[in-house]
Chains A and B, each alone.
Chain A
């Protein structure tokens, strides 16, 4: 069964992070949220494998935010 890779897999982690920050530069909160949604869908399609996506969704869902 395929397993979600949580080890480093970026070809250039810093460049990715900088580009991610750039796409959010000078955007409203609503625009940022929309950008994030579009990005997730694009990347999810790239991953494709439902089993892997479900593992990622499970980790992503484990949030602990103080209300």
Chain B
């Protein structure tokens, strides 16, 4: 086996909590040091909340596992301060090719749109993704990361959770206001609480062979239906960092996982694909089956489930870790507001409603891709092959070819946190949508990006200038929100050609921002701490801003509950 990566070993450390006479209480304890758990720790730290992260292991992902990191995930990581090493190390790709039999039937570009800081997708082995997150967590004093601390027991009540943690030096107890559980698809904690993740098992097996080779293939996603070298099944080829290439062979349900993982059985498959002359070495192999399932509710009293523990999808379309991070950013600002007493506890329930929507969307797309790739009967096989055949010559058929619809951020259309549009706007950046990036110029003339100015608190984005009286009313409204603990910053967007004079005055340097957000002079957007739009207006009304902020903080929900 080749090895381009050595897993770091994070040391076990004894915590003072282990010497305490009574169980120590923490506001938030996170179980699981994978992508969801680490992201939650960073997100909460940015909002001033201390966390303890407990992981039963002492390293990052063993094996490359999830490799496709979507733009929105990187934007979230950029807010956390760890996207740069990921992008630097990752393989940027945006081009894909689809083959049927011998022939290429079409190719696609993921993001022909210019003016985004973050690329459409990168490929990066999960161990690097996690390692860079751990590096960032260690720079954040509010995060107490405990390796080789294994949670063995969880008790939940209406106002707290208590846990037993096992270590090499014996067990200890902790309690917390909220226990965030990201202990993976088979979540032992979910099981121990008698909770279920329900859904569909797919009767198919896939072989991942990560190989190391020097190759002159471009960094494209290549997908074969019924490849000549692997007949009747699909094959995926994708480049990762360090000249590692992911090959994913569909094997069918009858394949023997233990046999297929052996190098003597992998070698002929790879040779059939790449030719006998090509030199390569196997880095990692895995045979997997998958499920699409989710919990009916991600919240059980004070225990909140995240990531694969809450919802699981097939790997096609890169919606596992990517979906997990969208869930984390949805949860953490709400939890921080509740813990600070800035929002009612009822706000937490919208993590469930908004992310149930996200999980359903991810499961739907991933199930459809799976159904297309693996027809279940003769009729759907005929339709699939006919679609692929027609796709060569007829563009309409290409829209039906589905080898995974790549993860795009979820829009929370029906959330009670939105204030509905009263004016006519382009629907793209409607309430519930994740903010799109755009280039801006700061007051000092420096080039920046919009998303760097959003997040972690509410931001009111204003285009153009306000009449003096409206300006005073706005000042009063923002002062009121601040008194209530909900800092809301104004970001003034000036049209192209103007020059900002204060730090919060930026110029729409390419005119892209006004276009993406359908801005006219006087337009305003209120943006949540997770960079999702919650309200927008053509003419600013200071009272409406306060009402929309209150609504986004769940205050209407609390009144409904009280009524």
Contact = CB atoms under 8 A, between A and B. Distances in A.
Contact of A14 (B368, B383, B390): B368
B376 A14 contact: no
Given A6-B394, A20-B383, A13 B399 contact: yes
B400 interface: yes
Contact of A17 (B390, B393, B400): B400
Contacts of A5: 396
Nearest to B398: A8
B379 interface: yes
A9 B399 CA distance: 9
A16 B397 CA distance: 12
Interface in B399-425: 399-400, 402, 405
A67 interface: no
Contact of B379 (A9, A14, A17, A32): A32
Contact of B378 (A14, A20, A25, A32): A32
B381 to A, nearest CB: 10
A14 B396 contact: no
A41 B377 CA distance: 23
Contacts of B402: 14, 17
Interface residues of A, number: 22
B284 interface: no
Contact of B395 (A8, A27, A32): A8
Given A6-B396, A10-B399, A13-B399, A29 B378 contact: yes
Interface string A1-44: 00001111110011011101100111101001001100000000
A36 B259 CA distance: 41
Nearest to B402: A14
A10 B396 contact: yes
A8 B396 contact: yes
A12 to B, nearest CB: 10
B365 interface: yes
B398 A14 contact: no
A24 B372 CA distance: 13
B437 interface: no
A18 B371 contact: yes
Q: Which secondary structure dominates where chain B touches chain A?
A: helix
Q: Which secondary structure dominates where chain A touches chain B?
A: helix
B507 to A, nearest CB: 38
A27 B400 contact: no
Contacts of B371: 18, 21
Interface in B91-119: none
A42 B380 CA distance: 19
B396 A24 contact: no
Contact of A25 (B372, B377, B398, B405): B377
Contact of A21 (B365, B383, B398): B383
Nearest to B371: A21
Q: Which of A17, A26, A35 has the most CB of B within 10 A?
A: A17
Interface in B324-375: 365, 368, 371-372, 375
Nearest to B380: A21
A29 to B, nearest CB: 6
A16 B378 CA distance: 18
Contacts of A26: 377
B368 A17 contact: yes
Given A6-B394, A7-B395, A21-B371, A13 B400 contact: yes
Contacts of B377: 24-27, 32
Contacts of A6: 393-396
A18 B396 contact: no
B368 to A, nearest CB: 5
B383 A8 contact: no
Interface of A: 5-10, 13-14, 16-18, 20-21, 24-27, 29, 32, 35-36, 59
Interface of B: 365, 368, 371-372, 375-380, 383, 387, 390, 393-396, 398-400, 402, 405
Given A5-B396, A8-B399, A18-B368, 7 more contacts: A6-B393, A8-B398, A9-B396, A17-B383, A24-B377, A25-B377, A27-B377
7 contacts: A10-B399, A13-B399, A14-B365, A18-B368, A20-B380, A21-B380, A21-B383
